[in-house]
Amino acid sequence: MPKKLKDLEKRLKKQLSFAVAFSGGVDSTFLLAVAKKVNPQNLLAITVSSQFVPGRETAFAKNIARSLGVKHICLDVDILGNEDVAGNTLERCYHCKKQMFSLIQETAGNLGIKSLLHAVNLDDLKDFRPGLKAAEELGFISPLVDARYTKADIRLFSKQLGLETWNKPSQSCLATRIPYDETIKAGKLIMVDKAESFIQDLGFAQVRVRCHGKIARIEVEPWLIDSLLNSDIRQKISKEFQKIGFEHISVDIDGYKAAAGKLK
């Protein structure tokens, strides 16, 4: 077993019981799988579902937890009922994570679990992520950071462990599709979710539809832009997006950018 994986297991063995903030993504699935190996009897996965999370992602998380044989709780929260979140300032992520992680903390505490884990990795620390402050304030442990794991490490070890998420496209909450300082409304999120689902069904796994009022700005991986602009595909997208409610559609010629949610 690689030294890095042994180190992570050693760190996790220090916890008598723990709850993992679980989204079903690459990082949290890897962390959950290793935690299951270390302490299967005293492990809980907690998923928080909100208007920011596509229904298909919540369903995927449930299936992954079930396949790993881990006890799983899924909580629902009306995140748009939080004015600090819906107001969509630069601190939106902090207020969102504060509410979601507080709910995880309360749920775990009611079950006698005090150790709380989240799957942030070293690469995440390079991005603008105000939510990390909320996790720290609430006492969440970040074992992947402590063990010096990068995203590439997690994908590599996930593949070696046979996890189906090893090559899953990176996900982010739907709120990142709305420019900062523009109030987030449920209708906008629904439009974005429908639009992204449609393009994914056309074969584009990594896609973002940035919402600028009635204008949709599509991002796919740079090498797939030509495929997206294929006459047949372009016409299908145009027709469907107009049904969804977008009046104008553009394609970002630079392609998918993970940090695009920062733009105003």
Residue-range domains of the chain with CATH: 3-167 (3.40.50.620), 174-262 (3.30.70.2210)
- pLDDT at residue 127 in the model: 85
Query: Which residues are registered as beta bridge partners of 47?
Result: 74
Residue 25 has what DSSP assignment? S
Cα Rg, the chain, nearest whole Å? 19
8 Å CB contact between 191 and 211 = yes
- pLDDT at residue 225 in the model: 97
**Mean pLDDT throughout 119-147?**
94
In angstroms, the CA 131 to CA 225 distance is 32
Q: In one letter, which amino acid is 44?
A: L
Check: pTM over 0.75? Answer yes or no: yes
176-196 in b/e form (b: 16+ CB < 10 A) is: bbbbbeeebeeebbebbbbbb
- pLDDT band at residue 263, thresholds of 50, 70 and 90? very low
Q: What are phi and psi of 220, to 5 degrees?
A: -130, 175
8 Å CB contact between 202 and 220 = no
Q: Which has more confidence, 41 or 244? A: 244
Residue 169 has what DSSP assignment? P
Q: What are phi and psi of 234, to 5 degrees?
A: -60, -40
The residues, any chain, with a CB within 8 Å of residue 191's CB and separated by 6 or more, are: 211, 244, 245, 246
In angstroms, the CA 80 to CA 96 distance is 9
For residue 34, count CB atoms less than 10 angstroms from its CB and return exposed for 0-12, middle for 13-18, buried for 19 or more: buried
- pLDDT at residue 28 in the model: 98
- pLDDT at residue 264 in the model: 29
Q: Which two tokens mark 138?
A: 């609430």
**Mean pLDDT throughout 5-18?**
92
Q: Convert the pLDDT of each residue in 52-110 to its tens digit.
A: 999 999 999 999 999 999 999 999 999 999 999 999 999 999 999 999 999 999 999 99
